[in-house]
């Protein structure tokens, strides 16, 4: 009794070696292209959100140090889950950075706010 394998792309019967996965070079190429598109799509979404975050932080932090309500940034498309690196100050507060623009979440008088900063040499 032999088990017939089917091609994952077109469901045709795969003939040949026992470890062969695709029925043709065309199907192999199609599958590899689709896998690459899925992976690249994820990176494109992350990059797009990082660019939005940087643009929003840059617009609201013209002086180098700003305090702003969290909702103002969120309404502009800012997503705090996307950042490139972080810096921890001597008080133990962790600033999240999107390239050179950083933010720190704080509660002030019952309202959620962000402290916006620009990367400085001493933070390295």
Per DSSP (E only), the strands in the chain are: 65-69, 85-88, 94-98, 101-108, 111-118
Please state which of the ranges 7-11, 89-93, 97-101 shows the lowest mean pLDDT.
Answer: 7-11
Produce one character per residue of 60-73: b if its CB has 16 or more CB atoms within 10 Å, e if not: bbeeeebeeebeeb
- pLDDT for 96 equals 97
How many angstroms separate the CA atoms of 78 and 68, rounded? Answer: 13
Q: List Cα–Cα distances, 50 to 68, 79, 113, in angstroms.
A: 19, 9, 20
- pLDDT for 124 equals 82
The domain spans of the chain are: 25-123
Q: Is the pTM of this model over 0.75?
A: no
pLDDT in tens, 6-65: 999 998 899 988 899 999 999 999 999 988 887 778 888 999 999 999 999 999 999 999
């Amino acid at each position: 009794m032999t088990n017939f394998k089917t091609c994952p792309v077109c469901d045709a019967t795969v003939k040949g070696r026992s470890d062969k996965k695709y029925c043709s070079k065309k199907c192999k190429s199609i599958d590899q292209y689709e896998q690459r598109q899925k992976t690249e799509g994820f990176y494109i979404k992350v990059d797009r959100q990082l660019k939005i975050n940087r643009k929003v932080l840059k617009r609201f932090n013209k002086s180098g140090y700003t305090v702003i309500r969290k909702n103002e940034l969120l309404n502009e498309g800012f997503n705090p889950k996307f950042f490139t690196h972080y810096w921890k100050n001597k008080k133990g507060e962790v600033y999240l950075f999107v390239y050179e623009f950083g933010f720190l979440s704080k509660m002030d008088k019952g309202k959620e706010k962000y402290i916006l900063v620009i990367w400085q040499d001493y933070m390295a």
